[in-house]
Structure formats: structure tokens, C-alpha cells
Amino acid sequence: MNNPSTQQSTIPSNTYNHHIADDEVDIRELFAVIWQGKWIIAAVTILFAIASVFYAINQPNIYKSEILLAPAEQEGSSGLAGLAGQFGGLASLAGVNLGSGSSNKAQLAIEVLKSRKFISGFVEKHEILPDLMAAKSWDMQENKVIYDNELYDAENNKWLREVQAPYKPKPSMQEAYKEFIEVISTNTDKETGMVEISAEHVSPYVAQQWVEWLVADINKTMKSRDVIEAKKSTDFLTKQIQQTKVADIRSVLYKLVEEQAKTIMFANVRDEYVFKTIDPALVPEEKFKPSRALIVILGTLLGGILSVLCLLIKEFTNKKNKC
């Protein structure tokens, strides 16, 4: 005689196993669904491939110009280093920095180059806002940048873009900074200390010009900062000399003044103040991006994957609705 408790426990177990079997995905069924919808998959994949080709063709070539730099040696640094050990405290009171080497100055210059203040001044000084924000393509035959007519009227030098407040038709310096910081890059080799600065643009000539301007402007900016600082320190030290009667202190102050005079002199006679050019920027002959073949391949794969997923989702949705 069968135990009732055994029968009751067996029924739920069979039902549970039946539901599991229904929910399991049969690989053969998947392939069958894919095979039945092969023409749909092929059509969607071809459409994506064609769209990818058109998209890739319409993408403008982007050129990248690079320059290789070495931190310039700071003349008089040995003398400053000697004074730093003995009179660093006194020098700091006068605003004199005796411990900054060429590597520290180069790193500071890189951070200044990437700052909002420097980039905003750079964009305004060289009037590159149209090339930065409205360039569409480059005419190789005439070596001319072609602008987007919906954004900028080159003939009348007028911005036409339609934006919502607080933005204006003419891009702000904050917008220009965000755009510019995306097209320039700086890389420092930790072992050698070499610095590489690069710029990207639809025109290879514009990219090369930007890199040259960047290096020239950062050298001028850092030179100006050091000259102003040295002059202020000299004025302070001169006043202290006049107020001090102790011979030893006056001797130290004179040495500090002498070092500031050297800083000003070397700054005025050297154009490559922070960075020396090792390998100058060239007009690139080959594009940097886009990789049109890769765009087409990825677009075609995306079309195939999406079509297969849509077929499977549709099939199993219908199957569950029937159940």
C-alpha cells in the first residue's frame, strides 16, 4: 500500500522539474530560430554595413602634429643651489625660490599650459575660435579650412549657432577650453624627462601651427612670470640692504640680488626658456583618425548582433504568451 505522504511529496517535485525543463533554453531551438530568420538577419546586417560605410566616409580626417621637447637647463642653478643650503630661510622671506630645478619648472609649465587662464588667453590671442569650434573639414587643394555654415559665417565673421541661454551664438571661453583640452595632449617620459606636446585638427597645417604657438607661448609665459618674480624679489632685497647695517647679512642679501639679476639676464637672452625643441612639429601627411575600416567592421557586427537578439527576444516572448 502506497504511503499518502510519499505521493504528495512526489507530485510537487515532478511539477517543479517540468517547469525547469520548460524554462531551459534548447541550443537546437536557438539555431532553428536564427536559421528561420536568416534573411531578416542578413538584411539588417547589410543595412547596418551600408550605414556604417556612409558614416565612415562622411567623417573628416583628423591630423595630429607632435613636438618633442627637453626641459631647458636653468643657468645659475648651481649658484642658487649653493645659496639654498645656507640662506634658504632668508630667501623664502624675500620671495626668492632657490630650490626650483629645470624638471620642476618644466612640470609647472605643463600645468600652466593646461590651465583655463592660459588656454583662454591662447585662443583669444591667436583668434582660433572658429578653427576650434566650427571647423568642418579641410580643402587640401586650396589649403583652406571649411567651416560649418550652421555654426559660423566665415565671410562675415559672424556666429550663427542656435543655443539656449546662458549660452550665446559665439562660444564662451569656458566652451573653448573644454574643446581645446580635448584636442591637445602632453606626455612626459618619467625616465628621460622628455615632453611631447601634440594637437589634433582637420587641417594638418593648423595642427602644426597650434603646437608651435603653444611651445612659444608657454616659454614666454614662464619667462615673464620668473622675470616679474625676480624683479619683485630684487626690490624687496634692495630695501632690506638699505635698512640693514650688519655686514654679514648685507653680504648675503647682495648675493641674493646677484642671483635675481642673473635670472632676469638669462630670461631676456633666451627664447627657449623652459623647453628646448628636440624634434620640431611637422605638417602630418597621414591622417591620425578615424579608422574607417574599423568603423565599418564594428557597425556590421553591431547590426548582426542586434538582429539576432531581436529575433530571439521576439520568439521567446511569443512562446511565453502562448503558454
Give the closest residue to 202 by CA, choosing from 182, 187, 183, 216.
Answer: 183
C-alpha cell at 24: 531551459
Give 36-42's long-range contacts (Cβ < 8 A, gap of 24+): 37/307, 37/311, 40/307, 40/311, 41/304, 41/307, 41/308, 41/311
HSE (CB half, 13 Å, CA atoms) of 278?
14
Q: Which of 181-190, 195-204, 309-318 has the lowest mean pLDDT?
A: 309-318
Query: How many Å is the Cα radius of gyration of the chain?
Result: 34
Per-residue pLDDT at 267: 82
- Please write the tens of the pLDDT for every residue from 35-52: 888 898 899 999 999 999
Per-residue pLDDT averaged across 165-191, rounded? 94
Q: Is the pLDDT of residue 268 over 90?
A: no
Strands 275-279 and 135-139 turn out to be unpaired
pLDDT band at residue 294 using 50, 70 and 90 as cut-offs:
very high
Per-residue pLDDT at 101: 53
C-alpha cell at 320: 511565453
> Of how many residues is the chain composed?
323
Q: Which of 13-17, 141-145, 262-266 has the lowest mean pLDDT?
A: 13-17
Per-residue pLDDT at 27: 79
Per-residue pLDDT at 36: 84
Quick one: CA dihedral 190, 102, 207, 283, positive or negative?
negative
Per-residue pLDDT averaged across 186-191, rounded? 91
Q: Is the pLDDT of residue 74 over 90?
A: no
**Residue 107, amino acid:** Q
DSSP annotation string for 166-179: T--SSPPHHHHHHH
How many other CB atoms are there within 10 angstroms of residue 228's CB atom? 11
Please state which CATH class domain 63-279 belongs to.
Answer: alpha beta
pLDDT band at residue 84 using 50, 70 and 90 as cut-offs:
very low
Domain boundaries along the sequence of the chain: 63-279
- Using CA atoms, how far residue 255 sits from 9, 27, 247, in Å, is 100, 86, 13
Per-residue pLDDT at 103: 63
Q: Is the pLDDT of residue 87 over 90?
A: no
Tell me the C-alpha distance between 308 and 41, whole Å: 6
**Helices (H), ranges, the chain:** 4-23, 27-36, 38-58, 77-93, 102-113, 116-126, 129-133, 173-183, 204-243, 247-269, 292-322
Work out the burial of residue 19: count CB atoms within 10 Å of its CB; fewer than 13 is exposed, 13-18 middle, 19 or more buried. exposed
Work out the burial of residue 12: count CB atoms within 10 Å of its CB; fewer than 13 is exposed, 13-18 middle, 19 or more buried. exposed
pLDDT band at residue 245 using 50, 70 and 90 as cut-offs:
confident
- Please write the tens of the pLDDT for every residue from 214-236: 999 999 999 999 899 888 888 88
Tell me the C-alpha distance between 172 and 124, whole Å: 11
The structure's pTM equals 0.76
- Please write the tens of the pLDDT for every residue from 313-322: 887 787 777 6
